[in-house]
Chain A
Amino acid sequence: LAKTTQPISMDSYEGQEVNITCSHNNIATNDYITWYQQFPSQGPRFIIQGYKTKVTNEVASLFIPADRKSSTLSLPRVSLSDTAVYYCLVGGSDSNYQLIWGAGTKLIIKP
């Protein structure tokens, strides 16, 4: 099972771009990388998923280098409502449904 390493916390300001990097040195060949956002007392919410290179949707971008040993979630022009915990997940490609969730990155956006 791949394990991930993320910063415990980050601070930023409204209107800034925020980049959260996740390390996953033991990622398997067929594993995808998935990011979730969690607000207090709510379930995590899917943000974005990718396998390699760059993926972009309406809320975020995901950058994955060629060796896939890390990934970076990019949140453009953050607002106070982006204050949350962000989780990076890898795994699940081998029909093994066990995903190991780390403690995530607590992102605090200041006015």
Chain B
Amino acid sequence: SQTIHQWPATLVQPVGSPLSLECTVEGTSNPNLYWYRQAAGRGLQLLFYSVGIGQISSEVPQNLSASRPQDRQFILSSKKLLLSDSGFYLCAWNTGDGNQPQHFGDGTRLSIL
């Protein structure tokens, strides 16, 4: 069966520090991968998606970046975190076209101090 792993579960970082969140998927090949951010009480905001290794599409201009060094690995990074980067970050995957249901990790709660 397919599984998705996302870590860490919680993270507290000072303003201006770097960030690296990792997401890996097992049990499938060539998945579409997504990074979302969710503010408290709000819906999910798509940050990045990838349909293949090295292929990254950015949806929201910001100081975050994403990379896909391997088929089932998706990394969210920042060189310098801002207070506004606080939130709940979710990684998801699906296969096929955009209609297919997405499967989510358990998320990372990021707090910027």
A: residues with CB less than 8 A from B are: 30-32, 34, 41-46, 49, 87, 91-104
Contact = CB atoms under 8 A, between A and B. Distances in A.
B41 A103 contact: yes
5 contacts: A41-B109, A44-B102, A92-B100, A101-B36, A104-B43
A65 B98 CA distance: 22
Nearest to A46: B101
Given A87-B44, A95-B98, 5 more contacts: A32-B99, A43-B92, A46-B101, A101-B36, A101-B43
**Most B-side CB within 10 Å, residue of A43, A45, A93, A102:** A43
Interface in B59-99: 59, 88, 90, 92, 97-99
B104 interface: yes
A39 to B, nearest CB: 10
Contacts of B106: 42-43
A100 to B, nearest CB: 8
Given A43-B90, A103-B41, A97 B57 contact: yes
B86 to A, nearest CB: 14
A96 B36 CA distance: 16
A101 B99 CA distance: 14
Given A41-B88, A92-B99, A95-B98, A101 B45 contact: yes
Contacts of A102: 43
A31 B99 contact: yes
Contacts of B43: 87, 100-104
Contacts of A31: 99
Nearest to A102: B43
Contacts of A95: 97-98
Interface string B7-38: 00000000000000000000000001010100
A73 to B, nearest CB: 14
